[in-house]
Structure formats: C-alpha cells, structure tokens
Amino acid sequence: MDLGISGKWALVCGASKGLGAGCAQALVREGVNVLINARGSEVLALAATDLRAFGADATRAGGSKWSQPTVLAVAADITTAEGRAAVFSAAGGPGHDFDIVVTNAGGPPTGDFRTWERETWIKAVDANMLTPIELIRATVDGMAARGFGRIVNITSSAVKAPIDILGLSNGARSGLTGFVAGVARSPLARHGVTINNLLPGRFDTDRLATTLMATAEKMGTTLDAVRKAQVASIPAGRFGRAQEFGAICAFLCSVHAGYMTGQNMLADGGVYPGTF
Amino acid sequence: MDLGISGKWALVCGASKGLGAGCAQALVREGVNVLINARGSEVLALAATDLRAFGADATRAGGSKWSQPTVLAVAADITTAEGRAAVFSAAGGPGHDFDIVVTNAGGPPTGDFRTWERETWIKAVDANMLTPIELIRATVDGMAARGFGRIVNITSSAVKAPIDILGLSNGARSGLTGFVAGVARSPLARHGVTINNLLPGRFDTDRLATTLMATAEKMGTTLDAVRKAQVASIPAGRFGRAQEFGAICAFLCSVHAGYMTGQNMLADGGVYPGTF
Amino acid sequence: MDLGISGKWALVCGASKGLGAGCAQALVREGVNVLINARGSEVLALAATDLRAFGADATRAGGSKWSQPTVLAVAADITTAEGRAAVFSAAGGPGHDFDIVVTNAGGPPTGDFRTWERETWIKAVDANMLTPIELIRATVDGMAARGFGRIVNITSSAVKAPIDILGLSNGARSGLTGFVAGVARSPLARHGVTINNLLPGRFDTDRLATTLMATAEKMGTTLDAVRKAQVASIPAGRFGRAQEFGAICAFLCSVHAGYMTGQNMLADGGVYPGTF
Amino acid sequence: MDLGISGKWALVCGASKGLGAGCAQALVREGVNVLINARGSEVLALAATDLRAFGADATRAGGSKWSQPTVLAVAADITTAEGRAAVFSAAGGPGHDFDIVVTNAGGPPTGDFRTWERETWIKAVDANMLTPIELIRATVDGMAARGFGRIVNITSSAVKAPIDILGLSNGARSGLTGFVAGVARSPLARHGVTINNLLPGRFDTDRLATTLMATAEKMGTTLDAVRKAQVASIPAGRFGRAQEFGAICAFLCSVHAGYMTGQNMLADGGVYPGTF
C-alpha cells in the first residue's frame, strides 16, 4: 500500500528507542524525511544511523519511486521552550513546516497521589499535556495552509482505563485527550489536518523490561515468571512489538487516514475490556 | 427517600450561586451541615442566609427527625493553598473531617488555543484539575478511616464532547476525570468512599445568562432569540434547573449511591448524542 | 428527599425478587402505585404482600402525605404479546397509562457462541431487546401526552464490558442500548419522558447465589471461597444490595432526574475500569 | 507498506459497490484473493471484472512480488443459510478457510419505531447482527487453527451516536457490537484472530446519493443544496471516499494490525463529537 507521504517531513519525539523509534522507522520506510528527537544524544545518534540504513533499503526496495529520505537528529528536551526551538531551527530541517508530528514523552513516575505536590503534577502536565499542545500549536496552521497535516499523539491505554498508581499519567494524558477532541474537530479539519491519539497497551520495549524487572525484584520472583504472568493476562497472548505500533502510526499519517480525526486508537492486544 | 446523611458535614465549593448553590441547598434539605465557599463574601453571606432558612424549613418538615443543620460560609479562593487552609480551619467546622466534598470551579475563559501561553494553561489546570485533586487528597483518608465518604466533582458535559473554544476547560477537566477514574477504584473504595463526577449541560444560571447575553450582542440579535435557538437544540426542550442538579448531587452523596463510583453522570437534557 | 412521584403508576417487570423487587420496594416507599410482574404466581404473590406492608409503613412514616399505594400483581410471561396484554388490561391497573416502566428480564444462559443456533439468539433478542422495546412502544406516547414519563431498563454491566460466555446477553442488551440512545433523544424528550438504562454489576441476589454455587461446584471448592474471591475483585469490597439498586432506580424515576436521559448508569462497586 | 497478506483469501460481503467494493479493491491491490458477494449478479459481475483489472495492475506494479489474486463472485443473499452455503462452497474458493472476512449489509430502512412490528425487527437483527455472527462462527475456528484471521464488520457511526429514525440499525448493529466486544477478547485472540468493527460516517456512495435525493425531494430543494448543507456539518468539509475506507479496512486486515482487536474504528471526518 502506497501511503502517499514520501517526501513529507515528520517530527518524531522520544524516537531514540521503543515506540518512538518504531514510528520513525515505519515513516522512513515510506520515504518520509524525519527529524528525530530525544534527550540523550548518543542513543539518538545510533537511532539515526539505523534509520538512514532503513531509508536506503526502503528506497531501493521501492524501486526508487522516491529519493532516499533525510534523517536529522536533534538531542534536546522537547518539554522546554529551548528544546522545541532547537527542533524547529535545525539545520537542514523544515523549520516549523512539518507535515507530520508524532508527540511522545515518557510517562511520569508511578506513585501514590498522597505524595504528589503541585510541582510534581505541573511537571507531568508539562511533559504529557502541554508539550504536545505546544507542538500542535507550532505546526498545525502551517499544515492547514499547505492542505495536509497529521498529528499523532502517543498516549497510553491508561487514558481509557486508568490505574491508581499511574495517576500523574492518567491525569496529564487525559488532559491532552480532552483538548485534542476539541481541536481535532475545529476548522483545521477542513484543511486536511487530522489529529489523533495512539494508545499503546503493553509493548515489548526497554521501558517494559525495566518495569518487569522492578516488579520481579519487588515480588521476589524471576523476570521470566513476571513476563509469563503478564502475558497470560493479555488476550492476544503476547506483548506488542514496536514495529507494529510504528505501522499503525504510519497508517494514521497516510493520505488514506484523512477521514479519521479526533480518534483514540487502542493497540493493546484486547486487554481493555470496554466495548467502546 | 431518606438519604441517610443528616448530620454529616459537607464542603461545597462555588456555592454562592448557580449549580454549587443548588447542591448546597439539596444537602441542607437533607439535614447535612455545610461549609460553603466562594470568593466573594457578600454574595456568599446571602447564600448562607438562604441556606439557614432552607435548613430550618426542612427540619420542621422532616418532623424534626434531625436537628437543624449548621451552615458556615468561608469566603476564600479555594484554588490557593491559603484558601484551602481557611476552609479546613474554619471555626465551628469539622476541620479536615468532611464526609462530603463537592468540588466546583468556574470554567476557564473561552478562546483560541493559539493564544494560550503556558501560564494560561497552568491557571486552568490549577483551578479545574489540581484544586479538586488537592481537596480529594485532603479529605479522603479521613473519610476512609470513618468508613464513609462522598466526593462529587462538578465538571462539564464538555468532558464528553469537547468543543474547540473551550479547550482550556476540556483539557483541565479531562485531566481531573482521568485522575478520578484511577483513584475512585483504589483501595479507598473498600472503605465506603465514592468519587464521582457530575457533568452539567446547559443550566439556567447567572453564568448561562451572561453567555447568552454575550452571544446575543455578538450576533446582533436579542437575548430571547438566542435562548430560543439554544433551547431548540436541547432534546428536553429546556435548560436545566440548579435545583434538580442539586438533587442529583445529593443523591450521589446519599448512602444509597455507595455502589456507584468512578462514574461520570451527565445531566444535559439529551444533548450529548453518544450511546456511552 | 421528596421524589415527587407519589400517586404515579409504575410497571415493574421481573419483580418477584432480586433487583426488580428492590425497584418495586423503593417505588412503593415513595407512594407509587405498582403493578408487579413475573412468571411465577406464587413468589409474585408473596412479593406483593411484602410490598403492601412496605407501602403501609411508608405512608404512615411519611405523615400520610400520600395515600397508601396500590399494589397489583400480574403473573405472566412479559416476553409474549399475551403476557403484555395481561399486564395492560389488569383489573384495577392503569391500562397503558403507566407513568413509570421498569423493564427487567433475566439474562439468557451463558455458553459458547459456537453452539448458538438462530432460535437461541432470537429468544435472547426477544427477551432482552424486543420486549423492552415493546413496553416502551406501548407506553411512551401516553407518557408524553401527560407530560411525564420514566423508562428505566435494567440491563447489565456487561453492556459496557462484555464477556465471552455472556454473548447472548451482550448482544441482545447492547441492541436495546443502541435503540434507547436514539429514542431517548427523540421528540419524546420534549414532553417530559426520560429513557435510561441502569447497569448492575454483581448484586447479592438469588441469581448470584446460584451462579456462585455453580462456580463452586465446577471448581471443586466451597461457596464461601468463591464469594471471597469474587468480592476481592470488586473495588468496593462487597456485592451490591438490591435495596440500594432500587433506590437508584427510584431516583431515576423521580421528578429530579428529568434532565437525565439516554444515560447508562452503572452501579458495580468500581469493577468496570473504563473512564467512560 | 507491505501489508503481508498477499495470497490470503478474503470474503467481502456487499461488495458490488460502495464501501464493500472499496474494501475488496484495497485487498486485491495487496494481492489478496477475494470472493465477493452481493445479491444482484449483474452489478457483482461488473465489480469482479474491475477487481481483476486492479489485481493485474497491482501485481505488475508490485514487481510481481506476488501472483495475481483470484477474484470470485457469488451472487447470493448472505443473510440466508442458503446464501452462506453458496459462498462457502464456491468452486475455486477456499471453502470455509477464509483468512479475512469483511461483513457488510445494507442498513435497514429508516422509520418510526412505533410502526415496527416484531418481524421488522427480526429482519434487521438477521441482516445486521445475526448474519455477521454466523459468518464469524463459520470461519474463526479455522483462522485460529491456521494462526491468522481478520474479521472486519462494517457497521455505522450510528453505533456511537444513534439517531431516532435509524432505530432498527442502531439496535441491530449495536447488538453485533456488544457481541463482538466479548468474542474478540476470547481465546481466539491468542491464535492470531482479530475481530474489529469499522464505522463509516457519511461516504460518497450510491446509497448516500439516494438518501440525499430523497431528502432534497422531501424538503423541496435541490440535490446540490442538500449536499452543501450536509458537507458543511462535517468538520472535514467533505464526504468520505470508498477508496480511503477500503484502505482502512485493508490495514485492519494486515499483519501490522494484529495487536488491535475488539475496536470500533470510526471514519467520519470528525462528525461524532465524543472524546471516546
């Protein structure tokens, strides 16, 4: 399927590994130029190298229907104004003229809401709610002027089924979700701009590995036992793969998904039990 | 129906008029002691006078099954730590030992998200998300220890169907909603504490009157024309009344609603079109 | 709280015990005349006797603000045209002029969808979808003409979170839910008629006892062990009580709930994990 | 993007035109063998001819990575046991061994629920609920045995936001939706079988044209005026195209969508206003 987005420019945040990297790879495979962002420059540089190889392969495999996509890497903290400025002024990049923006930030820490002071909340709100909103604000009018745009916010299945210890994430990400539902249906929609959220359940990433390890230690059991128990609770019988997550993201960014906006796409192997 | 809450203590925010006042009245009518809060002391004092009269009437009508409820008024900005301290240390009040807390804050201004800087967002988040969370944090453990508690957050139908110009409200109130969904199902639930949200559609309050007036001026038409047009779009064919809203709130606070928690109760005359 | 419905006529189906009986009791306590229906005449007669006693008590306790409610019992299969005809032509009853209708039918059997032939499905659809629709059809125009009406359909929490073995129930009850969402917002709403669904989670009824017993036998364990395990999975830490369910139903039937329509009210002690 | 499904067998119902045809085309373009079904043999034969041409083009364009897909056409009423038998015994087809099944039935007529007798309801339930369930029943165990399967039910945006006059559709399609939510999370999920629903809003099909024409006649206005008014109410500012709908369907059928199950994917240009 030709996604019709080769030659477009995408910003992908949190792209050095995990789900963000999966999204960047899927886009590069479709000939999309990407600017990847994360805080740590070393891992990000490695990710960029990988992406360039993927891009070269895909270009060859695609019979050179498109030229090899550009891959830029900007190591910066996207949750700060300075970080965003760095991304939007990167040499060789499109400035603010991204056609695709994939927002993605690591979740805030788990914990007990009794211990969260205002600054803890504000930090979560900044990272998981206001940063995506700032990225949307910085790019959607340009997208609308050019008649095409795709925002994909990577949130979490916890937006649909929050759990106690993830209160900071539940709160901040739900805040983003509420905002998106309004703006996605605003006059921007008339100009080819879609804004959707993509909600991962449990995916096999470094982050998950860390969580599983912590759980195993806490429960005095083995990593393998924890993995098995978790997998058993997923109807699909497995964790998700970053690559398939990336493919869903790329599809949402395609020309074919232009009639889908304001949606919350859940990829969780059937864990969330609700009909809607 | 005996709601089984006479003699309990309730904190009702934004209670000088409108929906908050409706909630306070409904609770006082059931013999609940209330501490009402709002920023302006004069209007709040008038509201307190009214409530005392309601309380006396209800006590008589109830055949003096309960003693006349106490009504305290604390004028303070509940969105500040100082305001909350004033409420929780009011002379004659229960300290932190409220059995019922009705959180309620005026919505943030409407507008275009392109013009909202970080401080605008933080203000909305403080008022409509973090303040209720602080009030919950300050009271639920006491409720759990005593084996009974009711939190009712007055949010908005815009949580279910956000609209563009209410982005600040959509965002902040959805953030609260996401948090509540998690904490409502936490171990607090086992101790008789329920946490629910109550979502008003369009109710016939001063606030609505102001909005309608502004709309009429903007559109160069009469207040009456605007009212008629709006009413025509409501399946129930009318605006809601603060009194019926208060009754729903009181019911949610009753002993009978102890098996309902984490719910979003919508009272909008059928406007929201979704099945769920 | 005066629900404002004394002297109204209610039809309550499946009212010989369990949730239906809880609803009938709560209504009678508010001075509502009820016609109760179930298939078995003996148990139904006992229920009617109980209700009359409740009615007498409530009338005395209410200071004789209202006259003692009438209680009629019609043993019939409400899922058949004949059964409905019997209900609507009962001597001493209101004919079709019920002000309140509580639809309620036992759920279809559990099982594997692979074994369900068309007639099994049609039976479930008849009982849990078309029967309520027929009862709505038979009564709402009269309600609208008189300017007041309340339909409450007792469905199931499985409408929000279906489970595999309850496929017949999931399907038929969801069908009802979809239909109700449309008709509740139809012009009927303008005439004081509300149509809502009430979704029970696990309530402490005979039906639950039977289910628990079957589970215990199947798993080769004790009833008590099964009860404890189930209770542990409910955030509220207990099963619901028919009496509190009845109170919610009565509130939905009250004058105060006139601005709530098309809603799915879930009472499940926090089991369903979804935000909405 | 390689969807990874070339050489699979798909059954697509209602495939002679409109959304069903869009789905069949998108699948054939990915090298999927299709058996298309509809009632009228002539239009279906034309559709098959078109599909064969698409298949040949796609095979060439794909650098012959896959062999040209087979296209079979079976004119039959899929809502009958005979129709289904014809489909599952078609010469050259896979028998029951479809890897992909796209269920799709024209919606039942609009109308007033007061006029719908039982047989009208049963007809709608048969077409829009029990037929998809029968197709699921006939194919999913084989899919599970082979470790891969995709069911996509084309339902309607009216499942999320029902409207009065579509009561038959609301009811029957919601019934299907409730059933699907349970079975999608059943042990089938562990064997690579996903079951999702795809909810179209207003798409530019023959059916829409007929509806618009009827509306224009009824309102005494022009087709163009009706089109413009409807388009103005869609945030995306246009009707959807069958081709993009087909692409979404094909993506859901791809190997990449294996972690999405039990979902209701809405493609409506932003009309449905709900956050979820």
Q: What is the pLDDT of residue D63?
A: 72
Rounded Cα distance between A119 and A117, Å, is 6
Mean pLDDT of C170-198: 98
Confirm or reject contact between B115 and chain A (CB < 8 A): no
Q: What is the pLDDT of residue B164?
A: 86
Closest CA to A34 of A20, A42, A43: A20
**Model confidence band, residue B211 (pLDDT cutoffs 50, 70, 90):** confident
Rounded Cα distance between D260 and D195, Å, is 8
Residue D105 has pLDDT above 80, yes or no: yes
Confirm or reject contact between B10 and chain C (CB < 8 A): no
Out of D174, D273, D275, closest to residue B275 by CB? D174
Using a CB-CB cut-off of 8 Å, the residues of chain D touching B274 are: 160-161, 272-274
Mean pLDDT of C137-149: 98
Contact between D253 and A228 under an 8 Å Cβ cutoff? The reply is: no
Q: What is the CA radius of gyration of chain C?
A: 18
CB crowding B36-61: b at 16 or more within 10 Å, else e: bbbeeeebbeebbeebbebbeebbee
pLDDT above 70 as % of chain C = 100
The tens digit of pLDDT for each residue in D187-204 reads 999 999 999 999 999 999
Residue A64 has pLDDT above 80, yes or no: no
Out of B161, B171, B275, closest to residue A175 by CB? B171
Out of C178, C187, C270, closest to residue B261 by CB? C270
Residue C63 has pLDDT above 80, yes or no: no
Quote the minimal CA–CA distance from B172 to chain D in Å: 14
**Model confidence band, residue D125 (pLDDT cutoffs 50, 70, 90):** very high
Mean pLDDT of C197-218: 93
DSSP letter string, B52-64? HHHHHHHHHHTTT
Rounded Cα distance between C110 and C122, Å, is 15
Q: Number of CB pairs < 8 Å for A and C?
A: 29
Q: What is the pLDDT of residue A77?
A: 97
Confirm or reject contact between C90 and chain B (CB < 8 A): no
pTM: 0.97
**DSSP helix, strand, coil percent of chain D (3-state; round to 5):** 50, 15, 35
Smallest CA–CA distance from D171 into chain B, residue? B275
Look at C159 and A276 and tell me if their CB atoms are within 8 Å.
no
Residue B61 has pLDDT above 90, yes or no: no
Q: What is the pLDDT of residue C185?
A: 97
Using a CB-CB cut-off of 8 Å, the residues of chain B touching A125 are: 121-122, 125, 129, 175
Residue D271 has pLDDT above 80, yes or no: yes
Which residues are paired to A36 by β-bridges? A12, A73
Give the tokens for residue D148.
């891969």
Residue A197 has pLDDT above 90, yes or no: yes
From first CA to last CA, the distance across chain D in angstroms is 28
Confirm or reject contact between A115 and chain B (CB < 8 A): no
DSSP code of residue C8: -
Q: What is the pLDDT of residue C153?
A: 98
Out of D26, D237, D259, closest to residue A240 by CB? D259
Give the tokens for residue D208.
């829409």
Mean pLDDT of D262-274: 98
Out of C240, C258, C260, closest to residue B259 by CB? C240
Out of D184, D251, D270, closest to residue A261 by CB? D270
Q: Which has more pLDDT, D258 or C106?
A: D258
Interface chains of chain D (3 or more CB pairs under 8 Å): A, B, C
Contact between A251 and D1 under an 8 Å Cβ cutoff? The reply is: yes
CB contact residues (below 8 A), chain A span 62-81, against chain D? 63
Residue A254 has pLDDT above 90, yes or no: yes
Out of B187, B250, B268, closest to residue C1 by CB? B250
Quote the minimal CA–CA distance from C162 to chain A in Å: 7
Residue A259 has pLDDT above 80, yes or no: yes
Quote the minimal CA–CA distance from B256 to chain A in Å: 25
CB contact residues (below 8 A), chain A span 175-234, against chain B? 175-179, 181-183, 185-187
Look at C264 and B276 and tell me if their CB atoms are within 8 Å.
yes
Smallest CA–CA distance from B193 into chain C, residue? C236
Q: Number of CB pairs < 8 Å for C and D?
A: 116
How much is the mean pLDDT over chain B? Answer: 96
Q: What is the pLDDT of residue B63?
A: 72
Look at C269 and B261 and tell me if their CB atoms are within 8 Å.
yes
Q: How many residues does chain A have?
A: 276
Identify from B202, B259, B266 which residue to disrupt to test chain C contact, counting C C-beta atoms within 10 A and taking the largest count.
B259
Look at A181 and B172 and tell me if their CB atoms are within 8 Å.
no
Residue C64 has pLDDT above 80, yes or no: no
**Model confidence band, residue D106 (pLDDT cutoffs 50, 70, 90):** confident
Confirm or reject contact between A237 and chain D (CB < 8 A): yes
Mean pLDDT of C106-110: 88
Q: What is the pLDDT of residue C69?
A: 96
**Model confidence band, residue D65 (pLDDT cutoffs 50, 70, 90):** confident
Mean pLDDT of A195-210: 95
Torsion of Cα atoms, D239 then D244 then D246 then D250, to 10°: -150
**Model confidence band, residue C196 (pLDDT cutoffs 50, 70, 90):** very high
Rounded Cα distance between C205 and C244, Å, is 12
Q: What is the pLDDT of residue C12?
A: 98
Lowest-confidence range among B141-155, D72-86, D214-228? D214-228
Quote the minimal CA–CA distance from B82 to chain C in Å: 32
Q: What is the pLDDT of residue C248?
A: 98
The tens digit of pLDDT for each residue in A21-58 reads 999 999 999 999 999 999 999 999 999 999 999 999 98
Residue A112 has pLDDT above 90, yes or no: yes
Look at B179 and A171 and tell me if their CB atoms are within 8 Å.
yes
Residue A107 has pLDDT above 90, yes or no: no
Interface chains of chain A (3 or more CB pairs under 8 Å): B, C, D
Q: Number of CB pairs < 8 Å for A and D?
A: 132
How much is the mean pLDDT over chain D? Answer: 96
Mean pLDDT of D97-120: 95
Q: What is the pLDDT of residue B111?
A: 93
Using a CB-CB cut-off of 8 Å, the residues of chain A touching D202 are: none
Q: What is the pLDDT of residue D163?
A: 84
pLDDT above 70 as % of chain D = 100
Mean pLDDT of B246-265: 98
User: A15 CB contacts (<8 Å, ≥6 apart)?
Assistant: A21, A23, A24, A34, A36, A37, A38, A44, A47, A102, A104
How much is the mean pLDDT over chain C? Answer: 96
Contact between C176 and C131 under an 8 Å Cβ cutoff? The reply is: no
Q: What is the pLDDT of residue B58?
A: 87
The tens digit of pLDDT for each residue in D205-216 reads 998 999 899 889
Q: What is the pLDDT of residue A128?
A: 97
Surface-to-core class of residue D162, CB atoms within 10 Å of its CB (0-12 exposed, 13-18 middle, 19+ buried): buried
DSSP letter string, chain B? ---S-TT-EEEEES-SSHHHHHHHHHHHHTT-EEEEEES-HHHHHHHHHHHHHHHHHHHHHTTTSSPPPPEEEEES-TTSHHHHHHHHT-TTS-TT--SEEEE--PPPPP--GGG--HHHHHHHHIIIIIHHHHHHHHHHHHHHHHT-EEEEEE--GGGTS--GGGHHHHHHHHHHHHHHHHHHTSGGGGGTEEEEEEEE-SB-SHHHHHHHHHHHHHHTS-HHHHHHHHHHTSTTSS-B-HHHHHHHHHHHTSGGGTT--S-EEEESTT-S----
Look at A179 and B171 and tell me if their CB atoms are within 8 Å.
yes
Lowest-confidence range among A249-258, B204-213, D177-186? B204-213
Q: Which has more pLDDT, A79 or D63?
A: A79
Out of C159, C162, C275, closest to residue A160 by CB? C275
Mean pLDDT of B267-274: 98
Closest CA to B248 of B57, B62, B22: B22
Q: What is the pLDDT of residue C46?
A: 97
The tens digit of pLDDT for each residue in B137-159 reads 999 999 999 999 999 999 999 99
Using a CB-CB cut-off of 8 Å, the residues of chain A touching D199 are: none
Mean pLDDT of B220-233: 95
Confirm or reject contact between D170 and chain C (CB < 8 A): yes
Torsion of Cα atoms, B119 then B184 then B202 then B9, to 10°: -100
Would strands D71-75 and C264-267 be described as parallel, antiparallel, or unpaired? Answer: unpaired
Q: What is the pLDDT of residue C107?
A: 85
Confirm or reject contact between C237 and chain B (CB < 8 A): yes
ipTM above 0.95, yes or no: yes
Quote the minimal CA–CA distance from D89 to chain A in Å: 31
Q: What is the pLDDT of residue B240?
A: 98
Confirm or reject contact between A174 and chain B (CB < 8 A): yes
Using a CB-CB cut-off of 8 Å, the residues of chain C touching D175 are: 125, 129, 171-172, 174-175, 178
The tens digit of pLDDT for each residue in D231-243 reads 999 999 999 999 9
Quote the minimal CA–CA distance from C6 to chain B in Å: 11
Q: What is the pLDDT of residue B275?
A: 97
Residue B64 has pLDDT above 80, yes or no: no
Confirm or reject contact between A172 and chain B (CB < 8 A): yes
Residue B269 has pLDDT above 90, yes or no: yes
